[in-house]
Amino acid sequence: MMDADEGDGAASVAPAWAVFGDLMAGLLGAFVLVLVGVLLVQVDLVASLQAEVEKRQLEERRRMALEKALAIPLASGRITVANGRIGISGNVLFPLNSDQLRPEGRQLLTSLVHPLRVYLDERGEMLMVSGFTDDTRVQEGNRRFADNLELSAQRALTVTRALVDEGMPPSRVFAAAFGAEQPVASNGDEQGRALNRRVEMAPVPRAGGATEPARRE
């Protein structure tokens, strides 16, 4: 028969083990929550990395497809392709401070229409034609252009109209102007200014996934 002292000792031990068990259960629950949180973060990180890899792969495929479509003019050195943008020197297309196409400039644009149409049709994209200038002020007395922004706008429009005249659907091309903004070289010397006087063409997604409007017979 257990005496009173032994009964009191057993009673005191039992609650201690119960408290210890509750503490361990709480720690285990906290550990599980932390582990789940870490796993979720890792899953999000893997998903983000995978999305970035897929994005870079898509951009690389688009670049390669664009270079393949424009292989002939690229080989001639008359255009450049960088970061998905087709660059044409302003000197090739226009005389200085003019928006009138040189004959060789129009010929170059004509050679680009068919491969660009195929490229755009395959991807359901549009072509943005952007005009750029150097930072030299438009010559005083030039009544046609108030400033470089207007000159770049007229050049972009001239190129856009030439592409449409040679068969580019008007719904697939639009013009943009940047003037002396976004230079690609220093305007401190003539070589740099010549590089900044340029027209760029870049395939871009169609707004809102719009489709080609039906043509009337």
**99 phi and psi, to 5 degrees?**
-115, 15
Question: Are 37 and 86 part of one and the same domain?
Answer: no
Q: What is the CATH number of the domain that holds 96?
A: 3.30.1330.60
Number of domains comprising the chain? 2
Using the predicted structure, report yes or no on whether residue 181 has a pLDDT greater than 60: yes
Say how far apart CA 125 and CA 204 lie, in whole Å: 6
93-148, pLDDT tens digit by residue? 999 889 999 999 999 999 999 999 999 998 899 999 999 999 998 876 566 888 99
Is 183 inside a domain boundary?
A: yes
Among 69, 91, 110, residue at a domain's last position? 69
Query: Rounded mean pLDDT of the chain?
Result: 82
Percent with pLDDT over 90 in the chain: 48
Is 213 inside a domain boundary?
A: no
Is 214 inside a domain boundary?
A: no
Question: Are 85 and 19 part of one and the same domain?
Answer: no
Going by C-alpha positions, the residue among 100, 90, 185, 97 that lies closest to residue 147 is 97
Is 2 inside a domain boundary?
A: no
pLDDT, mean of residues 36-64: 75
Question: Are 18 and 112 part of one and the same domain?
Answer: no
Question: Are 148 and 171 part of one and the same domain?
Answer: yes
56-103, pLDDT tens digit by residue? 766 777 778 888 888 888 888 889 998 889 999 988 999 988 999 999
Say how far apart CA 180 and CA 73 lie, in whole Å: 26
Is 6 inside a domain boundary?
A: no
Q: What is the pLDDT of residue 63?
A: 74
Give the residue numbers spanning the domain of 171: 78-208
Q: Strand 125-132 to strand 173-179: parallel, antiparallel, or no bridges (unpaired)?
A: parallel
Among 48, 69, 90, residue at a domain's last position? 69
Contact 197, 133 (CB under 8 A): yes
Q: What is the pLDDT of residue 96?
A: 87
Q: What is the pLDDT of residue 48?
A: 75
Question: Are 185 and 95 part of one and the same domain?
Answer: yes
